[in-house]
Amino acid sequence: MAKRYRVTLTDQERERLRALTRKGKGAARTVRRAQTLLLADAGRTDEAIRRLLKKGRSSPG
């Protein structure tokens, strides 16, 4: 499956998102979005991201 959107993060953006996911604090939705962006930046396909995060197609986010 092709990637729907291409994500390219700067080093600063990547580190900020990693910090969000490491802290484990904050809204679950925010942490999930950070994880999604990091996986997309790493070149994962949409389907792979869904599988890794156990996210259904109808989930908002």
pLDDT digits (tens, 9 = 90+) for 11-49: 999 999 999 999 877 788 999 999 999 999 999 998 999
- Going by pLDDT thresholds of 50, 70 and 90, the confidence category of residue 5 is confident
Asked if pLDDT for residue 58 goes beyond 80, the answer is: no
Distance CA 50, CA 9 (A): 20
Helix (H) or strand (E) holding 9: none
Looking up tokens 């998102």 gives 17
For 36, residues 6+ apart whose C-beta sits below 8 A from its C-beta are: 49, 53, 55, 61
Which pLDDT value is given to residue 55?
A: 65
* Tokens standing for residue 29: 């939705």
